[in-house]
Copies of this chain bind each other. A is one copy, B any other.
Amino acid sequence: MFQELVHAKAFQNYLEKAHFPQAPQYLYDPIRYILSLSGKRIRPLLVLMGAELFDKSVVEQALPASAAIEFFHNFSLIHDDIMDVAPLRRGKPTVHQKWNDNVAILSGDALLIKAYQELAKCPTEKIPSLLHLFNVTSLQVCEGQQYDMDFEMRTQVSEPEYIDMIRLKTSVLLGCALQMGAIIAGADERSQTLLYDFGVNLGIAFQLQDDILDVYGNPKSFGKQVGGDILSNKKTILFIKLQELISLTDQEELDCLLRQSVDVEPKKVEKMMNLYAKYDIQTLAIYQKEKFTTIAYEKLTEIQVEAGQKEALFSLANALMHRVR
């Protein structure tokens, strides 16, 4: 993982040189704040690794594109947090919580524009195709967020609908990050598409794993409250699978559980886990996760570059998919 650390450092340096004016402070302070919360910086890393896969000499040229992806991601966090009325992000107050909704709306807007400003710094001849990909992806992310909010209002969501929602909301951006790197490195279109598909499928697998870990993760190593999704009645892959398979009698118990908060029913998580166990939901969900992981690996395998050059991406994928948190 040595090379990843080099990339992470290069990205961090680039970010520190990024210029955000002092005034108006309510526009730019929130941007500095959200970027300082940092997170895992997986997305910009993917841009650099996507470039490196095809041409080690262009990694530096890919830094503005990696910043574009990170800025976009953080813009979407600021606005999603308003919509979800989330008080915390990465353990710190969200922007709308620390300031207010108006500040969060406008600073989010500015950060989205800043993402495009980074795109404009990419190698000139690559800008049209980068812009096209970035636009399509950004719009898909908005669509995914809308579907996510729509699904909260519905009682029934099918598995294909759910998979499509997480694909749009979170996975296409990973594919886009990798493909942007590939575009900058001058990869051919087939290779670009394979790398994109690797990212998207890995992203879906990662999200499914997140759903699984929420219930079956080790409480000590999983960063969040175990069973949090159950307590908030979230429509995860586990929940959707259960709804698909549940008998009429168990459906009554499920409906009852969904109406009860943990104050009324302290065993809510335990009872839901019993239902999951009865229908072997964990196995089914793991099967789905593995399916997308396998597709991802196949796509990466198909790319026509020397096997050794793919090592970094394979090991990143391994690290993400066998993670304990």
- List the interface of chain A (C-beta within 8 A of B): 24, 26-27, 79, 82-83, 101-102, 105-106, 108-110, 112-114, 116-117, 119-120, 124, 127-128, 131-132, 134-136, 138-139, 142-143, 145-147, 149-150
Indicate if the CB atoms of A135 and B110 lie closer than 8 Å. Answer: no
**Which of B79, B110, B120, B136 touches A131 (beta carbons < 8 Å)?**
B120
Count identical subunits in the complex: 2
A108 cross-chain contacts in B, Cβ below 8 A:
109
**Which of B24, B109, B143 touches A27 (beta carbons < 8 Å)?**
B143
CB distance from A25 to the nearest CB of B (A): 9
Task: Given A102-B149, A105-B82, A105-B105, check contact A139 B124 (CB 8 Å).
Answer: no
Residue picked from A82, A106, A149, most chain B C-beta under 10 Å: A106
A136 cross-chain contacts in B, Cβ below 8 A:
117
A-B contact list, 29 entries, CB within 8 Å: A24-B146, A24-B147, A26-B146, A26-B149, A27-B142, A27-B146, A79-B106, A83-B102, A83-B105, A83-B106, A102-B149, A106-B142, A106-B145, A106-B146, A106-B149, A109-B142, A110-B143, A113-B138, A114-B139, A116-B134, A116-B135, A116-B138, A117-B135, A119-B131, A120-B131, A127-B127, A127-B128, A127-B131, A131-B131
CB distance from A151 to the nearest CB of B (A): 10
A128 cross-chain contacts in B, Cβ below 8 A:
120, 124, 127
Main SS at interface, chain A: helix
User: Which residue on B lies nearest to A84, using beta carbons?
Assistant: B102
Q: Give A147 to B113 CA distance when docked, in angstroms.
A: 18
User: Which residue on B lies nearest to A145, using beta carbons?
Assistant: B106
Q: Give A106 to B114 CA distance when docked, in angstroms.
A: 18
User: Which residue on B lies nearest to A123, using beta carbons?
Assistant: B128
A145 cross-chain contacts in B, Cβ below 8 A:
106
A105 cross-chain contacts in B, Cβ below 8 A:
79, 82-83, 105
